[in-house]
Amino acid sequence: MSDGGDKVADAQNFDDREGIAAGAVDDGPPATWRGKPYGHWRGKLLTRQECSKVADIVTACKDARDVRLLATYANSPHGLVDDEVRRMAWPILLGCDAPETGISPQPWRELPRHRDEDQVKLDVNRSFIYYPDNESEKQLDRRKEELSDVITETLRRHPMLCYFQGFHDIAQVFLLVLGVENAADAVAHLSLLRIRDFMLPSLSPSLAHLRLLPAILYSTDAKLCQHLSQTQPFFALAATLTLYAHDIQEYGDIARLFDFLLAQEAVVSVYLFAVIILSRREELFKIPADEPEMLHSVLSKLPKPLDLEALISRTMHLFSAHSPPGLPFRAWGKVSIYSVLKTTRRSLKEQTLRDGEEFFEMQALQLRRAELRQHALATLWKYRRPAGSIGLAVFIGIMSFWFRKSGMDGVLGSGLRRVWELFRMVRAR
């Protein structure tokens, strides 16, 4: 095995051969790479093989902007290797590597205040706990100001978004990797195109992600799925909601995991949690199935340390062997067509922020319809005894007014037909 000096020499020689040196042309790699070896994301000098991988990724970013090729590198051991590579690759994976038309040029500070900004302030004050660990208090305070700006700009430019606690954990990773100049655009694309379900005005779309877990587990380990059947999958909420940024405390690990997650469709994050559960099979079977509180407590905390490379490899294998459309219990069919679980099956390079806003509006409309249906059925059940034809007529009149007031005339006919059918069923009992 060569020592550190050999690695430096190899890296410098490789740079010279490939033109990535002090004399590189203006449109070449960033200036901070010129005339020195690449820096590894764990703080180590790169081997010749790693240097070759970095050069290939840079070529994919600058020449072809090939998302599939970038995804291949992101899935491979150690992912995209270095933050400077990520600054080129992440915007491409998110589809924000080129300016979008139709974006308001108005400075975000002049836009109306978002309703969630007080909560943002509270969460930002609790940020940067684990990393970076080599900066002064003054530097960290500056980081927090930048983080607040990134989150607030995203919310003010897209006021329909609902902030959730833990969003700051995700945003701080983007700020550290991309810098304050590029983080806001990336976070906006992430919010509207990849984690939109978590920023709707209801928790229901987030829970739809978790409801896939039993189906994924059953498809590969029915015995373990049965063992956990008395435990609701809410234990996975914090991890999946924050793309694991709330639970992983090492900066290098979360940056590497983001390489993988950003290169995949959104549902892969749920498959990853399933793999983590499967990796704890022996531990979980030691806890009785009739102790769901204990199982929940164990599953809500990620095991330490995490072997990320092994978990990523197993996740890709599980996803390939049991793809979402083939999951049991018709689990995939119950997912909204506007959910990121389905819309990210298409490349984000083909989607715009406006597309994300339209998906948001359609999914929010679905949620309102579901709430109205539940309320209508609850009201019908409450008055099932004395209703009769006159009572039902009054009820339908009230519901007609309610649907129109909610701007949902289009669902009036089908909705009331369903109510009438249910009424006949109730009366027949």
pLDDT of residue 213: 98
Question: Which of 117, 196, 193 has its CA nearest to residue 367?
Answer: 196
Task: Give 365-376 pLDDT, tens digit per residue.
Answer: 999 998 888 777
Residue 206 identity (one-letter amino acid): S
Q: Please list the residues that pair with 45 across neighbouring strands.
A: 39
End-to-end CA distance of the chain: 81
CA 79 to chain centre: 18
The pLDDT of 384-394, averaged and rounded, is 55
pLDDT of residue 285: 98
Crossing angle of helices 251-262 and 83-94, rounded to 10°? 30
| pLDDT of 238 above 70 | yes
Name the least confident of 37-41, 201-205, 216-220, 397-401: 37-41
Q: Please list the residues that pair with 39 across neighbouring strands.
A: 45
Q: Which tops the pLDDT comparison, 421 or 311?
A: 311
Owner of token pair 């700020």: 175
CA gap 103, 87 in Å, rounded: 22
The pLDDT of 408-427, averaged and rounded, is 53
CA gap 378, 382 in Å, rounded: 6
pLDDT of residue 280: 98
Task: Give 69-108 pLDDT, tens digit per residue.
Answer: 999 999 999 999 889 899 999 999 999 987 776 667 799 9
> Which range in 6-15, 89-98, 254-263, 407-416 is most confidently predicted, on average pLDDT?
254-263
Write down the pTM of the prediction: 0.81
Question: Which of 336, 396, 329, 384 has its CA nearest to residue 360?
Answer: 336
Q: Which tops the pLDDT comparison, 266 or 52?
A: 266
Name the least confident of 2-6, 264-268, 293-297, 393-397: 2-6
Question: Which of 164, 9, 154, 183 has its CA nearest to residue 94?
Answer: 183
428 confidence band (pLDDT: 50, 70, 90):
low
Phi-psi map region of 131: left, alpha, beta (phi>0 left; psi -120 to 50 alpha): beta
